[in-house]
Amino acid sequence: MPDLPRRVHLHEEGPREGFQMEAGPIASADKVRLIEALALTGLEEIQCVSFVNPARVPGMADAEIVARSIRKREGVRYTGLWLNQRGMQRAMETPLDIEGTVSLGASEAFSVRNNGKGTAALLDAQRATLAFCVEHAIPVTRGIVTTAFGCNLEGVISPATVVERVSQLLGLMDEFGLQLPILRLADTVGWAQPNAIASVVGAVRERWPALRLGLHLHDTRGTAMANALMGLQMGIDTFDSACAGLGGCPFAGHTGAAGNICTEDLAFMCEEMGIDTGVDLEALIECARLAEEIVGHPLPGKLMRAGTLGRFRH
């Protein structure tokens, strides 16, 4: 088992993945307020909005307004998410930092529900996206395999299926002479437990030992921190996370589940283990409290209630 990473990169997704799940409308100004507060914590990358069909995801109907209202801070990347080329073109008309992503679902059924396309059609769409990125000199910075650990619509996903999807994504990149800087394995609907993390990460690592991997974890069934620990023990050094545990997936096939792994809780665990995150935990705690104030109901983060251990150490 590799040594623990010395430093972990936390990719904050709370403003995007969190606010898209809220039942009531969240004021655009409040979304901007949280994004700007998060940018003061030492986080280097914040996913702010998604450029998707507002009829399907009403919480992101104001994506352009939010993106254009953010007062950007030097040294922080402000990104968005999109599912197709039209969404990408919308993003390009805003001041956000535009980075290309290639994505496939390990679950065929989830791909159809989330993207409106099965794997074959989605491969064609990703090929068109890569061509667009190359034409417009947009860097392609990450690949994602969603539902990499299981799916509420399709059931168990085998590591072999994940390996096949990774191979397809890397093959697409090869077609355009591009290298993939990082591949994220996403527990989109909260099926993973530590043995599954070890199995899937191990299978991908065995095939592509030099490929940098990241994890996108949901705490749907309370296993996210255990899964992150297994990832750390396998040398994973980048995680998607959400302030206060905001988030979830609107197409997951269940409701009322917890959101993404909590940014400040994960940062606390890493720091206590001697792994640098580069973030200010006290500032993150204040962001978590702000997020809870904005949504108007309790959020699942733990550190914002218990606090750090600093005041108890002598």
Q: Which residues are catalytic?
A: 249
For residue 47, the tally of other CB atoms under 10 A from its CB is 21
As a whole number of angstroms, the distance between CA 104 and CA 214 comes to: 15
As a whole number of angstroms, the distance between CA 282 and CA 222 comes to: 24
What are the phi and psi torsion angles at 49 (to 5°)?
A: -150, 170
Expressed in angstroms, the distance from the first to the final Cα of the chain is 34
Distance of CA 264 to the CA centre of its chain: 15
The torsion of the CA quartet 127, 131, 136, 142, rounded to 10 degrees, works out to: 40
Give me the numbers of helices (H) and strands (E) for the chain, helices first please. 11, 8
